[in-house]
Amino acid sequence: MMKLFQPFHLVTLSPWPLLMSFSILNFLVSLINWMNFYMFQEIFIFLMLILICMVQWWRDVVRESLLQGFHTKMVIKGLKMGMFLFIISEVFFFISIFWCYFHMFLSPSIEIGSLWPPKDIILFNPYMVPLLNTVILLSSGVTVTWCHYSLLNSDYSSSKISLFLTFMLGMIFSFFQYLEYKNCLFTFSDSVYGSIFFMSTGFHGFHVLVGSLFLLVNFFRLIMKNFSSIHHIGFEMSAWYWHFVDVVWLFLYLLVYFWCY
């Protein structure tokens, strides 16, 4: 019987989706135990299980692409569409936070004195660390684009340097944000402003850490010669994610830091 070629790839049976689901469930339960009973030992156990499942799962995906050659043009198109939809979902996540911010900013309630920001909230100077972090993050967007063009031109030495610079700029941004939080003169419970500030900048900081990890994995894959000038979808996804992080920070800087100062 003649076999008909079809461009799609049906993955083999894998234990990682089920194990990952249970690990995340147990991790969330351990977070609740930590918040209520200060039991934090379980958090590290289930966090390690999540990381192990992630590494094993992504290892299988890399094998399917690099060694088995299952990632045809149609498969890559589907992967790109999945990443695009994921970024869209992240966009709407931040839209919900900005919606909350505008709701309180444009019509502050009487409980906070009909003022925005509320009285006695000492704001950050937007021309100090926030502006420095903006320059750092925008610079990282330039270096990741440099890396992409280097890959397209098979200039692997430049791509390694630029990708490492992007990762380091992400780490520097996270370090300065840590210092900003450490020296902050208000807390999460200081009115609705404190809650919105730490929710918005905190989740963005988490996305920066995830994006930095994404870039670091691609840096090691670049060293191991997993990418070529025509097949580097893993790096492309990390670059999309990083540009998304850059754009969100621009809105955060303009609205949360600059506009209220």
Q: Span 194-213, mean pLDDT?
A: 93
**Each residue of 213-255: pLDDT tens digit?**
999 999 999 999 888 888 888 899 999 999 999 999 999 999 9
Q: Does the pLDDT at position 162 exceed 60?
A: yes
| pTM as predicted | 0.88
**Each residue of 174-184: pLDDT tens digit?**
999 999 999 88
Element (H, E) at 1: none
Query: Are residues 57 and 92 both part of a single domain?
Result: no
- Measuring CA to CA, which residue among 172, 143, 159 is closest to residue 243? 143
Which pLDDT value is given to residue 105? 87
Query: Are residues 238 and 142 both part of a single domain?
Result: yes
Contact by Cβ (8 Å): 234, 218: yes
**Each residue of 82-141: pLDDT tens digit?**
999 999 999 999 999 999 999 988 888 888 778 888 888 888 889 999 999 999 999 999
Query: Are residues 46 and 115 both part of a single domain?
Result: no
Query: Are residues 127 and 218 both part of a single domain?
Result: yes
Percent of the chain whose predicted confidence (pLDDT) is above 90: 54
Supply φ then ψ for residue 107, to 5 degrees.
-145, 70
Which pLDDT value is given to residue 3? 52
229 secondary structure, DSSP code: S
User: What is the rounded distance in angstroms from the CA atom of residue 179 to the CA atom of residue 123?
Assistant: 15
Write the burial class of residue 61 (CB in 10 Å: 0-12 exposed, 13-18 middle, 19+ buried): middle
Query: Are residues 250 and 132 both part of a single domain?
Result: yes
| pLDDT higher at 89 or 4 | 89
Q: Span 57-77, mean pLDDT?
A: 85
Specify if 201 maps to a domain.
Answer: yes
Q: For residue 43, what are the contacts with CB-CB under 8 A and spacing of at least 6? A: 27, 30, 31, 34
Which pLDDT value is given to residue 231? 84
Q: Span 38-53, mean pLDDT?
A: 87
Q: For residue 8, what are the contacts with CB-CB under 8 A and spacing of at least 6? A: 72, 74, 75, 78
Contact by Cβ (8 Å): 226, 167: no
User: What is the rounded distance in angstroms from the CA atom of residue 133 to the CA atom of residue 170?
Assistant: 10
Specify if 192 maps to a domain.
Answer: yes
Average pLDDT, the chain: 89
Q: Span 7-19, mean pLDDT?
A: 83
Range of the domain at 235: 72-258
Cα–chain-centroid distance for residue 254? Answer: 20
Sign of the CA dihedral with 52 first, then 54, 58, and 60 last: positive
Which pLDDT value is given to residue 4? 56
Query: Are residues 99 and 24 both part of a single domain?
Result: no
User: What is the rounded distance in angstroms from the CA atom of residue 58 to the CA atom of residue 79?
Assistant: 13
Query: Are residues 169 and 42 both part of a single domain?
Result: no
Helix (H, G, I), strand (E, B) or coil at 227: coil
- Measuring CA to CA, which residue among 90, 72, 125 is closest to residue 233? 72
Tell me the one-letter amino acid at 36: N
Which pLDDT value is given to residue 5? 65
Domain count, the chain: 2
Q: Span 35-42, mean pLDDT?
A: 81
Specify if 216 maps to a domain.
Answer: yes
User: What is the rounded distance in angstroms from the CA atom of residue 39 to the CA atom of residue 156?
Assistant: 47
- Measuring CA to CA, which residue among 238, 236, 237, 226 is closest to residue 65? 226
Specify if 43 maps to a domain.
Answer: yes
Query: Are residues 55 and 90 both part of a single domain?
Result: no
